[in-house]
Amino acid sequence: MKPLGVVLCAVVLAGCATAAAPTTPVSPSATRAALTTPVSPSATRVAPAIPVSPSAPPTPFVNAILTVTPGRAPVGATVILDGTGCQNPGQPTYLVFEGEGGAETGTVGAVDIPNVPTDTSGHFHISFTIPAQLHSLQGRGGGLVRPGTYDFTSKPVACLIQFTVTAS
């Protein structure tokens, strides 16, 4: 009986995560690029955000990949974000550049990158300028971006990659 309750709870929570998009300010520095550009061989790859075990049923995020090139840069630099499987194919992807204050060592706060065009294969490719300032994140932080680690993540979370802001 307990395993069924756990499964039902997980299904309910998964459904809640996709309900509504945040209503936070949008980054003016995100630009869209051609969706057919291949993933750079020098980009950093990470494992899917959702763990997979041999007995787990397939999920739409099993092959999710997000890369950022370069993996380190100062404020004002332009990086390339390339992703596949971070959102439903053919639907816009919602990304966030954020520091949550846990494992990330940079400023607590975020910049939203909504409505990233995503092709029917689930692929997107955009350029993004590392911002000088972040807005608050759930009422905490905000302010100037200082050197440290941050995350680029999709919402709901399917893809996540760490990024380092360096000193100028």
> What's the CATH code of the domain at 152?
2.60.40.230
pLDDT of residue 62: 61
Domain membership of residue 15 (yes or no) is: no
Residue 102 inside a domain? The answer is yes
Q: What is residue 164's DSSP assignment?
A: E
pLDDT tens digit sequence for 32-76 = 443 333 333 334 334 344 444 444 433 444 679 999 999 999 999
Q: How many domains does the chain have?
A: 1
Residue 13 lies in a domain: no
112 lies in some domain? yes
Q: Which residue has the higher pLDDT, 41 or 154?
A: 154
- Confirm whether 55 is domain-assigned: yes
Q: In terms of pLDDT, which residue wins out, 14 or 90?
A: 90
Give yes or no for residue 79 having a pLDDT over 90.
yes
Note down the domain range covering 83.
22-166
pLDDT band at 134 (very low <50, low <70, confident <90, very high): very high
Residue 8 inside a domain? The answer is no
Do the Cβ atoms of 63 and 48 come closer than 8 Å? yes
Highest mean pLDDT among 60-64, 79-83, 157-161: 79-83
Residue with tokens 């630009």: 31
pTM value is 0.66
Residue 46 lies in a domain: yes
- For residue 110, give every residue at least 6 positions away whose Cβ sits within 8 Å of its Cβ, in sequence order, or none: 24, 96, 97, 98, 99, 134, 135, 137
Structural domain includes residue 107: yes
